[in-house]
Amino acid sequence: MHTAVRWTPNATIDALGMRSGVWEEGGTFRCDMRTDAATEQQYADGVAIVKNIEVRTRWPNVARVGLTELDRLVVRGRTLKINGIRNLDEADRVAVIDCTEVV
């Protein structure tokens, strides 16, 4: 088991009407993390390793911290972009969070 930290984008708007690039810590919860696959692909102006990671936790933890697909997770020093959050079997017990890490 690992501790996941939720990072949420700051909701403040600058003079041009754009969101600021600041992230704020929004809560922690215990989770399990598994790397599904890693691929090398074109990213921005070069090549990067893109890892697909599955994070599992209890569904009440997701509801308690208010986790959404707009947030980021930091687990064991790795910053993960959330692609989707699934309620396994719609039983409100296990949450499966599909994430991507670009290295």
| 67-79 burial code (b ≥16 CB/10 A, e <16) | beeebbbbbeeee
The model carries a pTM of 0.86
CATH superfamily, region 2-102: Bacteriophage SPP1 head-tail adaptor protein (2.40.10.270)
pLDDT of residue 37: 87
pLDDT at 6 over 80: yes
pLDDT of residue 80: 96
Q: Count of residues for the chain?
A: 103
Share of the chain above pLDDT 90, in %: 70
Give the contacts of 48 (CB within 8 A, at least 6 positions apart). 40, 41, 102, 103
40-93 pLDDT, tens per residue? 988 888 899 999 999 999 999 999 999 999 999 999 999 999 999 999 999 999
Q: Where are the beta strands (DSSP E) in 1-103?
A: 2-9, 23-43, 46-58, 72-75, 78-87, 94-102
